Amino acid sequence: MSTPLDSPDSGGLATLDRELEELIREENIEPGDHERFSHYVKKDKILESAITGKPVRALCGKKWTPGRDPEKFPVCPQCKEIYESLVS
């Protein structure tokens, strides 16, 4: 009979560490102009992110954890174009 201590990489903190490392890698993959814009994200996802700290994905594909005032930045042109095509 095995115990959780016999295989420390099978779950628990090791799994959380791997998931966190993956999220960090994903966020580092997206350099460039994305940081200069406000992005379109579903309101419920923004609320969920505020509560859990979980990253969100914008219409344009950018993935990040919101934390700045979107009113201070222009709207992402890709997000705007996608949004307008959805509501038209």
**In 10-87, which ranges are continuous DSSP H helix?**
13-28, 43-52, 77-87
State residue 51's pLDDT score: 92
16 within a domain of the structure (yes/no): no
22 within a domain of the structure (yes/no): no
Q: Is residue 86 within 8 Å of residue 44, measured between CB atoms?
A: no
Q: How many domains does the chain have?
A: 1
Amino acid at 46: I
Q: What is the pLDDT of residues 46-86, one digit of tens each?
A: 999 999 999 999 999 999 888 888 899 999 999 999 999 99
20 within a domain of the structure (yes/no): no
Using the predicted structure, report yes or no on whether residue 7 has a pLDDT greater than 60. no
Q: Tell me which residue range forms the domain holding 40.
A: 32-87
18 within a domain of the structure (yes/no): no
State residue 29's pLDDT score: 43
Q: What is the pLDDT of residues 23-44, one digit of tens each?
A: 555 554 445 566 789 999 999 9
* Cα 73 to Cα 22: distance, rounded to the nearest angstrom: 28
Residue at token pair 């994905």: 57
